[in-house]
Amino acid sequence: MTALSRKDSILSRGGDWDFELLQRYDQEIAVIAKEYGLDTYPNQIEVIASEQMLDAYASVGLPISYNHWSYGKEFIQNEEAYRRGMRGLAYELVINSDPCIAYLMEDNSMPMQALVIAHASYGHNSFFKGNYLFKQWTSADAIVDYMVFARKYIFDCEQRFGQQRVEETIDACHALMDHGVDRFHRPSPLSAKEELQRQHDREEHAWKQYDDIWRTLPQKANKKTGEKQKKHSFPPEPQENLLYFIEKYSPSLEPWQREIVRIVRKLAQYFYPQGLTKVMNEGWATFWHYTLLNTMYDRGLVDDGFMFEILQSHTNVVMQPGFDHPAYSGINPYALGFAMMRDIRRICEEPDDEDRAWFPDLVNKDWRQVLDFAMRNYKDESFIAQYLSPKLIREFHLFAIADEHKADHLRVDAIHNEAGYREVRRLLSKQYNRDVLVPDIQILRYEHMGDRSLTLRYNQLRDRPLSADAKEVLKHLSSLWGFTVKMEIYEEGRGVLDTVEVCPA
């Protein structure tokens, strides 16, 4: 391409943008994304003000979510930090929906708008549509309608039952969100229409079953049957989905409160895959905005100034601060995910002897197909265990320190040799295992024929105690249950170590 023809093909110069220009960039990026084989939901791009972006962040990334005081608190904290220049506001927000909704901030320059479109509308979008966890656990075509239903329902509850009672119920549900997902049972698809019909049917059924005269009849006790029922344990097996159990069996919740528990449980389910794929999702989106925009530059569609701004932002996103840097907060998921995606492409295209020994199945394969397979079939834990290479372990300066609580000193447990690489990879993968990150708490027993108390069991891992907030969370659980809640601290081989008991206020 000559200098003249390259100049003529450039879409724009400078930072100014308008909606027609946004559409042109979107069309060009879509063409290139299709050539690379990205499969996406239809895109819907919205431009919003910085205050609206802060508001969207505060509502856990769902601008259509219901109102809650915690969102307002988050908004104020973010806004104050943003105004003082202490925190940069991210350039985009994207919703896992069909069509995929991407929010662009109106203060962005044209290069940044293009980066957001490539990152969110084609990177995250294709991940949402392709990854097995999102396909199994979320209903992209129904989430927007469902959240509109949830927002209206909670607003109506505030009008009928009072804002304080509704907020207290939501507070308690939010405290238990991490324990509101059944990991081994595929959820039913979301449908706002079906939720409305189910709610109507339940209320109608409850009304038909209600007859005040039955309360006046004496209750005959069947001693034999009663003794048999007392011996029967319920639930028959431990239950890990606390919100589901509360929704179905709480002796004290009113129908509208059960519906709120259900709404928060559905929201927890929606976010469940995102917590398991942070490295992959952000790495995939970052890899594709980098690849798509560099392809645009190679084809003469953008100029040097455009790419300088893109690369500056990209570099900031994938920077991995050292452990002694003030900004260090662990491994940057953007940095690790992007590096692994790039490394997989390198292994496919330009393998060395080490790559051939460690990844013989990737050598000389089509990198698009390899990346696509990984995106669709892995989560962070398994992705790292499968694809983290010795080269990246060296580049990230990773090694393992054994910090055993009974030992008086630390021990370097894995260094840069073959055994060390495997151990570092195993340990890093384990850090993304949800079973390690979220305490294993299960409902053990419901005394439904006795005092209606609820007994839980915390399966303690390696002498790891619960945080100081555990009792406060139990208080929230007790408020939803309405009766005494007990929790056993249990460790395999040692039995029950302690019991915590909380009664409703």
Is residue 25 over pLDDT 60?
yes
Which of 384, 406, 436 is the endpoint of a domain? 436
Tell me: do 375 and 287 sit in the same domain. Answer: no
Residue 120 falls inside a structural domain: yes
Alpha-carbon gap, residue 100 to 94, rounded angstroms:
7
Tell me: do 275 and 289 sit in the same domain. Answer: yes
Greater pLDDT, 421 or 61: 421
Supply the pLDDT for residue 462.
75
Tell me: do 412 and 292 sit in the same domain. Answer: no
Alpha-carbon gap, residue 488 to 477, rounded angstroms:
15
Supply the pLDDT for residue 9.
85
Supply the pLDDT for residue 193.
62
Greater pLDDT, 493 or 320: 320
Tell me: do 283 and 332 sit in the same domain. Answer: no
Is residue 83 over pLDDT 90?
no
Tell me: do 97 and 167 sit in the same domain. Answer: yes
Tell me: do 34 and 110 sit in the same domain. Answer: yes
Tell me: do 414 and 461 sit in the same domain. Answer: no
User: What does the pLDDT look like over 470-485, one tens digit per residue?
Assistant: 888 999 999 999 999 9
Residue 48 falls inside a structural domain: yes
Alpha-carbon distances, residue 86 vs 78, 184, 309 (angstroms): 9, 42, 21
- pLDDT average, residue stretch 284-289: 97
**Pair 314, 289: CB distance under 8 Å:** yes
Number of domains comprising the chain: 3
- What is the tally of helices (H) and strands (E) in the chain? 23, 9
Tell me: do 301 and 237 sit in the same domain. Answer: yes
Helices (H), 332-448: 333-349, 353-358, 367-377, 380-387, 390-395, 418-430, 434-437
Is residue 365 over pLDDT 80?
yes
User: What does the pLDDT look like over 345-360, one tens digit per residue?
Assistant: 999 999 999 999 999 9
Greater pLDDT, 155 or 81: 155
- Print the SS3 string covering 236-266: CCCECCHHHHHHHHCCCCCHHHHHHHHHHHH
What does the angle CA 172 – CA 178 – CA 180 come to, to the nearest 5 degrees?
75
Is residue 228 over pLDDT 70?
no
Residue 141 falls inside a structural domain: yes
Tell me: do 66 and 96 sit in the same domain. Answer: yes
Tell me: do 272 and 336 sit in the same domain. Answer: no
- pLDDT average, residue stretch 279-287: 97
Residue 214 falls inside a structural domain: no
Confidence of residue 191 (pLDDT cuts 50, 70, 90): low
Alpha-carbon gap, residue 165 to 172, rounded angstroms:
11
Supply the pLDDT for residue 352.
96
Alpha-carbon gap, residue 57 to 74, rounded angstroms:
8
Is residue 202 over pLDDT 70?
no
Which of 43-52, 119-128, 436-445 has the highest mean predicted lDDT (pLDDT)? Answer: 119-128
Residue 301 falls inside a structural domain: yes
- SS3 call for 111: helix
Q: What percent of the chain lies above the pLDDT cut of 70?
A: 81
Which of 436, 451, 478 is the endpoint of a domain? 436
Supply the pLDDT for residue 291.
98
Question: Residue 446: beta bridge partners?
Answer: 454
Residue 224 falls inside a structural domain: no
- pLDDT average, residue stretch 388-393: 97
Is residue 35 over pLDDT 60?
yes
Mean pLDDT lowest for which of 230-234, 291-295, 383-387, 418-422? Answer: 230-234
Is residue 364 over pLDDT 60?
yes
Residue 216 falls inside a structural domain: no
Please enumerate in sequence order all residues whose Cβ is within 8 A of that of 71, keeping only pairs 6 or more positions apart, or say none.
Answer: 58, 59, 60, 65
Tell me: do 294 and 177 sit in the same domain. Answer: yes
Rg, Å, the chain Cα set? 27
Supply the pLDDT for residue 122.
97
Tell me: do 313 and 375 sit in the same domain. Answer: no
Alpha-carbon distances, residue 210 vs 35, 160, 254, 255 (angstroms): 63, 21, 14, 14
N-terminal to C-terminal alpha carbon distance within the chain: 75
Residue 226 falls inside a structural domain: no
Please enumerate in sequence order all residues whose Cβ is within 8 A of that of 47, keeping only pairs 6 or more positions apart, or say none.
Answer: 19, 22, 103, 104, 105, 106
Confidence of residue 319 (pLDDT cuts 50, 70, 90): very high
Q: Which domain holds residue 445?
A: 441-502
Confidence of residue 63 (pLDDT cuts 50, 70, 90): low
Which of 436, 452, 474 is the endpoint of a domain? 436
